[in-house]
Chains A and B, each alone.
Chain A
Amino acid sequence: MKFIYLFVIVCSLSACNIQEVKPWEKAILSDKTMQLNANTTLNSLDAHFYYSKEGSSGGRSFSGGGCGCN
């Protein structure tokens, strides 16, 4: 749970400090690794794995699994 509290604190501090970023200042943000869903294929495999092992799903994507594994 400490991890979760730390995460919330980090996000809150970041959200309080939103800076206006001009188009020419987005070099780092344009990198593929900075995309919020940087690897859709691995994320899809992960989502399907956890959907079949746990009682909850969704969040990043639709909570339906398209399969009879849960």
Chain B
Amino acid sequence: MCRANITHQLRHACCHLLGGIASIGTASANEWYVDMGLMNYIEQDRNTGIEYLLNAQRQLDNEDTLVLQAEFDVITGATPNGASASNVVQTFTMASGNGSYNVDANTLPADDTHMDTRIAFSLGYDDKASDTLQLNYSSHISMEFDYLSLGAGFSLIKDINQHNTQLLFSTDFEYNRVHPVGNVPTAFASMQPVGDFQPREEASVSRRQHGISLGLNQILSRHSLMQLKYAYAEASGYLTDPYKILSIVDDVSTTQPGATLDYVYEHRPRQRQIESIYTAYKTRFGQHTIDLAYRYYWDDWEIRSSTADLKIRYQLNSPSLFLQPHLRIYQQTSAEFYQHSLKSSEPLADYASADLRLAAFDAYTLGIRFGKLLANTMEHSIGVEYYTQRGDSHPQSAIGLQQQQDLFPDLHTLILTWNYAFYW
């Protein structure tokens, strides 16, 4: 082992022995600790996304740490637009109003003209104020051609109980500017054919989110620790998806009940209160590490979700190689205003959305990661995962022709990831 690696190991060990619960990065003085990640996900018949992330940390002379992060991602493919599948070919006007796209009969309507590119940067500063107090300041900017997000955060970690317990507090604020293609659609207005006047309002609108989090890290034994966190956040402003629509189906006709008559733009509440409890447990069995986490989430849109996540890092015979199976189970209830479509005979509700992400569904992730520890904290790994969503394909509220359609087609996604961390 080279001298540099020994130095890293000693510095790393000393840091954690003195600091108790490891929670801050692995930066060391006069060097950058660079952690790169790449994710490529491929959804069957829908989107393909590539996301690249670079995180670099450097410990300064005063033991504070500077954290820089850059992200770049591209999504292309077909995104569900909210309309219901139908027994006939459907034609939709593009957001720009300058073109249209067709969707085959008996197919989930999705906008295959969709392409999005995002670039984001964040800057963080970890201030080691004392032996028992760490402060963190962070900020980010994220840019898409139709979206701008600016955010800032502050967090505090206080060590007590001989560094066996950490008290956590954090607060964040985010300001977002949405400027959709073709301007902001009028809520519940009908989608118009290409060439006609499109029902649009202002060019851009804003949404904000702020939140706080309180938590506790606790060492349980020489080989196990846990975390417990409560988070509260409020979002306000334009929370609607400007590209999502709903089908209005005929529930009056006796000859073709369930036929699509019109498409209208969705409308969501302008406020959202979000709460969650998150707990994580980590333990070491021999050379192997078990990582369990559970989150319960609830908000005033009536979405409730449970997420359980299990990772087992299994060291192979060679101490530098590992396999890490991953299982994630997710269950979600629907938002109170979620509807797969609207009925022509009923008056419009205050809010409605057919976004499948607001529907009730279960999701499962199953995957495995293979990696090699190159030196202390330097690591190279690749992973493959399968993610699926299953909802109610044939809800009782479907009428007539809709009963022949799959109103929540399963989502099947292959996820490939790559990670490389090194000193530079």
Contacts and interface: CB of A to CB of B under 8 A. Distances in A.
B280 A7 contact: no
Interface in B168-195: 170, 172, 174, 176, 178
9 contacts: A26-B219, A36-B227, A42-B419, A45-B39, A53-B357, A53-B363, A54-B330, A62-B231, A63-B209
B158 interface: no
A60 B22 contact: no
B280 A33 contact: no
Contacts of B108: none
Contact of B17 (A7, A24, A34, A37): A24
A6 B144 CA distance: 42
| Chain A, interface residues (CB within 8 Å), range | 35 or more
Interface in A5-37: 7-8, 10-11, 14-15, 17-37
Contact of B357 (A29, A55, A59, A68): A55
B335 interface: yes
B17 A3 contact: no
Interface in B261-298: 274, 276, 278-284, 289, 291-295, 297
B226 A14 contact: yes
Interface string B304-341: 01111010010000000000000001101001000000
A60 B417 CA distance: 20
B303 to A, nearest CB: 5
B144 A49 contact: no
A16 B292 CA distance: 17
Given A29-B225, A67-B142, A36 B280 contact: yes
B293 A26 contact: no
Interface stretch (B88-96, B145-153, B247-255): B145-153
Contact of A59 (B18, B220, B276, B284): B276
B153 A40 contact: no
B223 A66 contact: no
A39 B389 CA distance: 25
B32 to A, nearest CB: 14
Interface of A: 1, 3-4, 7-8, 10-11, 14-15, 17-42, 44-45, 48-50, 53-60, 62-64, 66-70
A39 B39 CA distance: 14
A58 B13 contact: no
Interface in B217-256: 217-227, 229, 231, 233, 235
A67 B147 contact: yes
Given A30-B16, A49-B39, A21 B164 contact: yes
Contacts of A8: 294
A63 B233 contact: yes
B372 interface: no
B260 interface: no
Contact of A66 (B140, B292, B383): B140
B357 A54 contact: yes
Contact of B23 (A20, A36, A54): A36
Given A7-B292, A56-B299, A67-B144, A17 B307 contact: no
Contacts of B358: 55
A37 B351 CA distance: 38
A45 B417 contact: yes
A39 B174 CA distance: 24
Contacts of B13: 27, 30
B275 to A, nearest CB: 9
A44 B53 contact: yes
A30 B147 contact: no
Contact of B306 (A4, A20, A57, A60): A4
A15 B163 contact: no
B368 interface: no
Contacts of B39: 45, 49
B380 to A, nearest CB: 12
A63 B222 contact: no
B307 A59 contact: yes
Interface string B403-415: 0000000010101
A37 B211 contact: no
